[in-house]
Amino acid sequence: MAKGTCMKKGLLGCAAFGILAGIALAGGGNGKSMSFAGSDKNATLPGQDRMLFVWDSSIPGDAQATEDLLDFAKKGKYTSLAIEASPVGYGASGALERYSEFVSAAKHKKLQVRALIGYGWFTVSPNAGLPDQPTSHHEGFFLVQGIVDSGLFHGLVDDSLPYAVTYAEGSQTKNNLWDNTQAAAEDYVTWLAGTKKILGEMPYYKCSPFWFDDEAKLSSLKLGLSPVGRSLASYEAEYADVRVLLAYRDRAWGPNGILHVTYADLKLGRTMIAVETADLGSADGFLTFAEEGQKRMEDELTLVRKALQVWPLFQGVAVHHYAAAKALKP
């Protein structure tokens, strides 16, 4: 199954439940916006987080870049930053000092800083036997241990996902998750369990596409000692403190909107909802706010937060990612 369009899926896959059924029905039918008079469009509600992904590891240590990022975050009412932290995890020269200064500056602005990592091959066993396999669990666990040992971060945001693992087999390009589903899923759960064990009490934020709960090949997997088939999303929820759902859509309500594609996941555990801001091209414009701009994104995120504010497992929203978000039109 070709997954170049994996984020385009809009399957629900399970019945509505409780209050989320009301969310799905109340505004999803016509896709119209709801207005909240007097609301601050990008303010967080009590108990909700607003996280910004930052993939640029050169910012820590650069005074001007740090100031620009922190100013952007405060103006955008973000409460946390997830910053690419591989230099710390690998013990790069000077990284601990650079990131220590960055975390201190962010703390002064009342911003929580989480370590961000993401590489699909970290989810693969060293014994997987895939052609030209560049790395495996072992390197990923080493990286996570280094991040924990630094003592700098308020959690790990893990964007390592098995569908990102591709390899050549003869003249064909294979995808590990779709061509070796059972083995890839087993390896993924080993990655989740191992990462959580290393983190200990450090919060584990696990990025996940919304379709891990209803994709046919991933909806009834017997992994480890599980006696029954379960969705890959449910295995993630077993180990993650918070799942960060990559709900890449450009509207809150309506068929195939953010609320429509994510409400089933919210029963699995504490969840944040993330949106995309990068330019993915005109064909995939509905996956991102690159065309709509900042105001439209904030309007839609307000609808999401207001709709879910009474759902106790909803933890807030996230924006992917800083470089693209700051380039959005007003």
Can you state the percent helix, strand and coil of the chain, rounding each to 5? 40, 15, 40
Report pLDDT for 46. Answer: 56
Query: 10 Å Cβ neighbour count for 54?
Result: 24
Round the average pLDDT of the chain to a whole number and report it.
88
Q: 122-133: per-residue pLDDT in tens? A: 999 999 999 999
For the chain, the domains span: 11-29+39-325
Domain spanning 11-29+39-325, CATH architecture: Alpha-Beta Barrel (3.20)
| C-alpha span between 284 and 280 (Å, rounded) | 6
Question: Which pLDDT value is given to residue 20?
Answer: 54
Single out the residue of 232, 318, 313, 239 nearest to residue 270, CA to CA: 313
**DSSP states of 146-183:** HHHHHT--S-EEE---GGG-EEEETTEEEEHHHHSHHH
Encode pLDDT of 59-112 as tens digits. 999 999 999 999 999 999 999 999 999 999 999 999 999 999 999 999 999 999
The pTM is what?
A: 0.88
Residue written as token pair 């690159």: 290
Please determine, for residue 16, whether its predicted confidence score (pLDDT) is greater than 50.
no
Closest listed residue to residue 266, CA positions, set 3, 9, 50, 23: 23
3-state secondary structure of 271: strand
Which string of DSSP letters, residue by residue, matches 218-240? GSSB--TT-SS-B-HHHHHHHH-
Determine the average pLDDT of the residues in 24-34: 37
Residue that has been written with the tokens 């029905």 in this structure: 25
Q: In 3-state terms, what secondary structure has residue 145? A: helix
